[in-house]
Amino acid sequence: MKLAIDIDGVLRDTFLKIEQTYQKFFIDELELVDEDFKFEIKTPYNTPDYQNHFMFKNEEEFFSFLYEEFTMQIFGHAPSSEMSTFHVLAEIYQKYKNKVDFMLISKQIGKTKPATLFFISKFGCEIDKVVFYNKLTENKIWDEFDILLTANPELLNQNHNKTLIKYETSYNSNTTSELSIKSLKDLDEQIEKLIE
């Protein structure tokens, strides 16, 4: 059985780190005041699209913030979703590694890939396989696994005859899934049922 775990939302709280970085550099310390534009954070986070929640003058400024200027700060130094995320993940991995092929997936581009690898390495993650995908390669990842644990509504709404487990977040509350968990601790019970 092949189980894929999505990094963003499940293991990494990217929203929190973007919020902290944006608040510091665009709201608290902003030296350039623009009369026609207001930098602001729109909450609650009810969509997975960062551009809906962090206001920039244009797409170029948004991409520069996320993928050039603050890439390592955001994707490398974001906190884990829960305090015990990687401890729990290590326990689950050790318990099932002979019965389940684990892999991590993450929708990343450019410099966010090495930053994401840094993120998982600093928590001592032992899972061997990490697959990055983007909009162009998204359809190919479905061949890699049987079960997907994700918080991403876009993936949860696709049907590729795979078992989907929703990791509940504020931005996927309107997305339905047969299986869902509120905490990574609950994954143990789901795996137990699925491998019976």
133-175: pLDDT as tens digits: 998 999 999 999 999 999 999 999 997 899 999 999 999 999 9
- Tally of CB atoms within 10 A around 85: 20
Helix (H) or strand (E) holding 132: strand 129-133
8 A C-beta contact, residue 127 and residue 106? no
10 Å Cβ neighbour count for 71?
Answer: 19
- Domains identified in the chain and CATH numbers: 2-13+80-195 (3.40.50.1000), 14-76 (no CATH)
User: Confidence band (pLDDT; 50, 70, 90) for 30?
Assistant: low
Please state the pTM of the whole predicted model.
0.94
